[in-house]
């Protein structure tokens, strides 16, 4: 299942890339600190995102994410949910 399928399931509330604890931890982080992480690790984050979207197996993508430092996982959680919200808004849907 490539990125499109992962996002389609995510829009239905099935988040295959992250466990509930990781999501909860990510949303408990300071937004300013996360922005600093994005700036400091932009190239690494772009490379990881490209790799994740190219992996056909969601479990393999999840393992890749789990191997990252927690601060990068937290950023990826936020990016993932921003993408989901943007996709849903384009269709006039309200994120849940």
Domain residue spans in the chain? 3-90
Q: Cα-flanking dihedrals φ and ψ of residue 95, to 5°?
A: -60, 145
How many other CB atoms are there within 10 angstroms of residue 44's CB atom?
Answer: 13
How far, in Å, are 66, 85 from residue 78 at the CA level?
15, 11
User: Is the pLDDT reported for residue 95 higher than 70?
Assistant: no
In this prediction, residues 44-65 reach a mean pLDDT of 89
pLDDT digits (tens, 9 = 90+) for 6-44: 888 888 889 999 999 999 999 999 999 999 999 999 999
pLDDT at 91: 82
What pTM value is reported for the model? 0.87
Is pLDDT of 1 > 60?
A: no
Q: Helices marked H in the chain — which ranges?
A: 3-11, 20-27, 31-40, 42-54, 58-66, 70-90
pLDDT number for residue 52: 86
């Amino acid at each position: 299942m490539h990125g499109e399928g992962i996002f389609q399931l995510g829009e239905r509330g099935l988040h295959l890339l992250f466990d509930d604890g990781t999501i909860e931890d990510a949303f408990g982080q300071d937004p300013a600190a996360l922005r600093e992480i994005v700036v400091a690790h932009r190239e690494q984050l772009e490379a990881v995102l490209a790799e994740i979207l190219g992996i056909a197996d969601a479990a393999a993508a999840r393992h890749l994410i789990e191997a990252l430092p927690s601060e990068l996982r937290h950023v990826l959680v936020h990016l993932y949910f921003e993408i989901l919200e943007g996709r849903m808004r384009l269709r006039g849907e309200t994120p849940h």
